[in-house]
């Protein structure tokens, strides 16, 4: 299959608070920050969502799509499931690493690993997907933004919020406790810095010389991201909901049906996954 190098631009809008934890300041979890040099030579520490975080979201979506096609639920050993879901981990192994023709054949059987890469045994497999940081459209981030915007950008201070939470000192009825009687006051109060709903971001994704099968798989992952993708943490409590517009349309110029191809190769793909060290 021929190589392809498509690039997609992502326009993202927060529909709920977006958190991406960096340092702690007392009991406040701050957003991750990146130093950006300003036109006058000064610098600003601008909150961002890292490209690694976005890549992790895409990887998890890709694993779910792959699982639906290969139907391997409950059939993979833990280290293989970890590879597909989280990228795996390097470990000492006497097994021969995947290289050359064997690696090429593995990539054709498991496009998820070809696209996202991962650690297999004692050697990593490089993925062909490149992902940019998710930068807020704020004045302080302007020197790092890929495009110039006609409208005036807000200050980063205008798009940040702090969410307050507390754990109640209440063990509940019928539960034994060695703590003194509760006074009814919170046991602990903490805050989380977040991007406010409505904050706009930009990012990009590039497939560096991937096969047509890689292209089709990555395009499907991005399309699914526009449907149910998220950013940052605390998603179980409603954070990280976003709407995303991707240009050009990921489905454009896709020449193969990766699902049909993998369904035909299902036994070979499963043998390749189960044979990983």
Give 14-35 pLDDT, tens digit per residue. 999 999 877 766 667 789 999 9
pLDDT at site 1:
44
- Both ends of the chain: CA-CA distance in Å? 27
User: How many whole angstroms separate alpha carbon 153 and alpha carbon 148?
Assistant: 10
Contact by Cβ (8 Å): 162, 193? yes
| b/e 33-54 (16+ beta carbons within 10 angstroms → b) | beebeeeeeeebebbbbbbebb
Q: What is the mean pLDDT of residues 197-211?
A: 96
Tokens representing 151? 């409208």
pLDDT value of position 203: 98
Q: Of how many residues is the chain composed?
A: 277
- Say how far apart CA 94 and CA 104 lie, in whole Å: 21
Structure tokens at 52: 């690694």
Give the burial class of 187: count Cβ atoms within 10 A of its Cβ; 0-12 exposed, 13-18 middle, 19 or more buried. exposed
Other Cβ atoms less than 10 A from the Cβ of 265: the count is 16
Band of the pLDDT at 2, cuts 50, 70, 90? Answer: low
- Contact criterion met (CB below 8 Å) for 165 and 190: yes
The pLDDT confidence band at residue 180, using thresholds 50, 70 and 90, is low
Q: pTM for this structure?
A: 0.87
- Helix (H), strand (E) counts: the chain: 7, 13
């Amino acid at each position: 299959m021929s190589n392809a190098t498509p690039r997609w631009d992502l326009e993202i809008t927060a529909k709920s608070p977006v958190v991406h934890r960096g340092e702690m300041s007392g009991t406040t979890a701050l957003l991750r920050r990146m130093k950006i040099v300003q036109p006058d030579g000064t610098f600003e520490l601008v909150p961002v969502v890292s490209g690694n975080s976005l890549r992790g979201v895409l990887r998890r979506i890709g694993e779910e799509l792959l699982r639906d096609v290969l139907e391997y639920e409950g059939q993979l050993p833990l280290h293989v499931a970890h590879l597909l879901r989280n990228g795996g981990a390097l470990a000492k192994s006497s097994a021969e690493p995947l290289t050359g023709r064997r690696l090429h054949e593995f990539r054709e059987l498991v496009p998820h690993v070809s696209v996202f890469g991962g650690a297999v045994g004692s050697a990593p497999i490089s993925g062909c997907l490149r992902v940019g940081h998710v930068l807020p459209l704020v004045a302080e981030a302007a020197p790092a933004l890929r495009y110039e915007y006609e409208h005036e950008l807000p200050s980063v201070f205008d798009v940040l919020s702090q969410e307050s939470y507390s754990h109640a000192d209440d063990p509940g009825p019928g539960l034994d406790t060695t703590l003194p009687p509760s006074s009814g006051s919170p046991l602990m109060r903490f805050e989380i810095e977040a991007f406010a709903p409505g904050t706009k971001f930009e990012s990009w994704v590039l497939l560096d010389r991937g096969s047509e099968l890689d292209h089709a798989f990555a395009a499907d992952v991005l399309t699914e991201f526009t449907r149910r993708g998220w950013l940052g943490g605390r998603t179980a409590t409603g954070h990280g909901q976003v709407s995303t517009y991707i240009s050009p349309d990921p489905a454009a110029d896709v020449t193969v049906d990766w699902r049909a191809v993998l369904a035909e190769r299902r036994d070979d793909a499963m043998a390749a996954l189960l044979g990983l060290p």
